[in-house]
Every structure is written in structure tokens, then in C-alpha cells.
Amino acid sequence: MNLWNKLMCYSRRRSPWLFHLNGGSCNGCDIELIASLTPRYDAEQLGVRLEGSPRHADILCITGPITHNAVEAIKTVYGQVLGPKAVVAIGSCPATTNVFIDSRTLDGPLNKHLPVDVFVPGCPPRPDAIILGVAKAAEILALRAAKQWPDESVMVPILEQGAACACSDSAESKPSPESTPSEVQP
């Protein structure tokens, strides 16, 4: 790996810019995502910035159990985020549709529509868990720069939740595409 690639890996790890998207959430997770930027948790130490436009973002943070209305919006915004990008599903709702399961207004869970990189479970998850999830997603972006992680274009939306495993911190291990969704334990 040459110097430029190393620099790019490091910069991607240190500068995750987020775009927050509500897929029918009750606002609990949204509040916790904002709380992770407040003085108590201060995600800006990791270079996190909440961006206004999806064009500027690297990481798409999606909350909520994906209602019928939200599906097209989520797909559009996912297309507007430019590569390399990662998706973080915040809360139990986008992962499993939570207590709203079998509701006729829902078209969830999220990984039916998008390839999700990191799940942050919780109802709502704690801000430190969200920060950890964002840090893992930034790590995935860095691994993509080093070609040690499958690209988002080859990842397909998958429904098998059993494939979830912890994200490996070491850059050497090369995970298979089935094991990409990593779960953050708060």
C-alpha cells in the first residue's frame, strides 16, 4: 500500500461526515443521534460532522422502521450519497422493525432495501453506542480504501440476520460479503 493510500485510509477513519435520515422513527433515536454531538459525548473529537446535504456525507444514519412512504426517499438519498459510503442503521427499528413488526404501514426492515454496514441496536441506543457504530462505519470506509472490504456496489441487500458478526478491528482479516453487517454491542 503506497503512501497516498495510507493517508486516505487514515483520513477516512478520522473524518466521517453524517447525513441523518428518518425512516418513520418515533424521534427517540434522532434525539440520541443529536445527543452524541453534544458536549457530554462530543463526537466531533472523531471528526464527525452532521452535514446538511447528502452529497457531502460519507455515512448515512437511518432511524425508524421504514414506512411505505419512506422507502423511495431512502433509496433516493442513498443514491445521492457519493461513494465510498456506508450505512448505519440506528436503533432496533431499522434492524427488525421492533414492536411495529407485521404492521401494514411498514416495508421494513432496512436491509430489505439497502446494504447496511453497521447495526446499532437499542430502543433507543445510547449515544456512546451510536458513536461506536459511526466509528466502525468509518473503519469500514477506510478498509474499502485499502481494498480489504467489499465495495458497497457489490454488496446486495440481505435479509439473513444470522450473518451478523462483530466487525474486526484488525486490517488484515478479510471478511466475506455475507458477514459484513456488523453489530455493535453497547
Distance (Å, whole) CA 80 – CA 62: 14
Nearer to other proteins by Cβ, of 83 and 157: the residue is 83
Instruction: Please answer whether residues 142 and 149 qualify as being in contact, where contact means their C-beta atoms are separated by less than 8 angstroms.
Output: no
Nearer to other proteins by Cβ, of 37 and 95: the residue is 37
Nearer to other proteins by Cβ, of 138 and 184: the residue is 138
Indicate the DSSP class of residue 51: -
Q: How far is the CB of 65 from other proteins (least distance, A)?
A: 25
Nearer to other proteins by Cβ, of 72 and 151: the residue is 151
Q: How far is the CB of 157 from other proteins (least distance, A)?
A: 21
Q: Please state at what angle helix 3-14 crosses helix 127-145, rounded to 10 degrees.
A: 160
H or E element, residue 101 = none
Nearer to other proteins by Cβ, of 46 and 163: the residue is 46
Nearest CA-CA partner of 118 in 139, 133, 131, 128: 133
Q: How far is the CB of 100 from other proteins (least distance, A)?
A: 28
Q: How far is the CB of 125 from other proteins (least distance, A)?
A: 21
Task: Write the DSSP assignment of 11-49 as a string of letters.
Answer: HHHH-PEEEEEESS--SHHHHHHHHTTSTTT-GGGGT-E
Distance (Å, whole) CA 94 – CA 100: 11
Q: How far is the CB of 1 from other proteins (least distance, A)?
A: 14
Q: Give the binding site for other proteins (CB under 8 A).
A: 7-8, 10-12, 14-15, 17, 38-39, 42, 44-45, 47, 50-53, 55-56, 58, 80, 82-84, 145
